[in-house]
Amino acid sequence: MYTKKANYEEKQLELNDLRTKFDYELKYLTEYLSFTNDLEHKKNEQLTQLMSEDAAENEDAEAILQSIFEKEKDALLSYYHHSAIVLIYTIFESILADVCSEVQRFARAGFTHNCLVSGSLIGKSKTYLELTTDLPFELIQGEWAKIGQFQKLRNMIVHQNSCFSGSEAKVNNQKDQIRNNFNSIKISDTYNRFYILDDSLVSEFIELIKTFISKIIEYLESVVFMVERPNITIDMEDLPF
């Protein structure tokens, strides 16, 4: 926390522009995801119809086509929802980075959140705000725990292709985490994969980051910063007398 010192002045941070930017980003994100979801449903309907027509034309291949459909239908239906979780998380990282940059600029802090050497990008942002603004963790504790669950889900989508991997014990642990944290997600024990098949989780994630960022902004606008006054020097040769 930047506490009171000589040559420092008390100032409060206004984040109206950042709040407006945040609101519009989430508005356009929601519209984009809705549009993409509609397209995804249409494509899935077209694919189902195409496979049905192929089976009618070649009865000998019907069993093969049915096997493909049963194996791949959940994967196809989940593509949109999985990519949506990744996109929301990326935008969340960007918004938090913008908040930290605004604090650094306003408070004239001597380091940025990128200077921190450990943790994820959102973890660095949280730590940075705690160091520079004395952000109380209890303010965001509930949301932070759920964000951590979404972070692990996002990492499994990106780094494990939505699959469970590792030893049997590790796979079982990953499945238990999914079941306990996101009971709407479908788990395939046959293929050791998981599938997000409805919009509820996407909407929940968006609302979660709305609440989280709003709490951060409201807190930052409520505290008093001790900001160093800039040193102004005057060149005597430039004076008109």
Does the residue 237 lie in any domain? Answer: no
pLDDT at 238: 56
Helix (H, G, I), strand (E, B) or coil at 196: coil
Alpha-carbon distance 52 to 43, whole Å?
Answer: 14
Residue 219 located in a structural domain: yes
Residue 89: inside a domain = yes
pLDDT tens-digit map of 92-105: 999 999 999 999 99
Give dist(CA 169, CA 146) in Å, integer.
Answer: 24
Which is more confident, 213 or 76? 213
**69 within some domain:** yes
Q: Is residue 240 part of a domain?
A: no
In this prediction, residue 51 carries a pLDDT of 75
pLDDT value at residue 139: 96
Q: Is residue 213 part of a domain?
A: yes
Q: Rounded to whole angstroms, how far apart are CA atoms 45 and 42? A: 5
pLDDT at position 181: 96
b/e map 163-196, b = 16+ CB within 10 Å: ebeeeeeeeeebeeebeeebeebebeeeeebbbb
Query: Does residue 205 sit within a domain?
Result: yes
CB neighbour list of residue 224: distance below 8 Å, 6 or more residues apart: 10, 11, 12
How many domains would you assign to the chain? 1
The Cα 157–Cα 176 span in angstroms is 16
Supply the mean pLDDT for the chain: 86
User: Which tens digit of pLDDT belongs to each residue from 155-199?
Assistant: 999 999 999 999 999 999 999 999 999 999 999 998 899 999 888
Q: Torsions phi, psi of 94, nearest 5?
A: -65, -40
Instruction: Find where tokens 């908040």 sit.
Output: 99
Q: Range of 220's domain? A: 8-229
Mean pLDDT of 121-133: 94
- The residue assigned the tokens 């791949």 is 72
Is 239 a domain residue?
Answer: no
pLDDT digits (tens, 9 = 90+) for 197-209: 888 899 999 999 9
Taking only the tens place, the pLDDT of each residue in 63-93 is 787 777 766 778 877 888 999 999 999 999 9
Phi–psi pair at 163, nearest 5 degrees? -115, 160
| C-alpha to C-alpha distance for 32 and 165, rounded to whole angstroms | 32
Comparing CA positions, the residue from 20, 185, 29 lying closest to residue 92 is 29
- What pLDDT band is residue 227 in, cutting at 50, 70 and 90? confident
Higher pLDDT, 151 or 110: 151
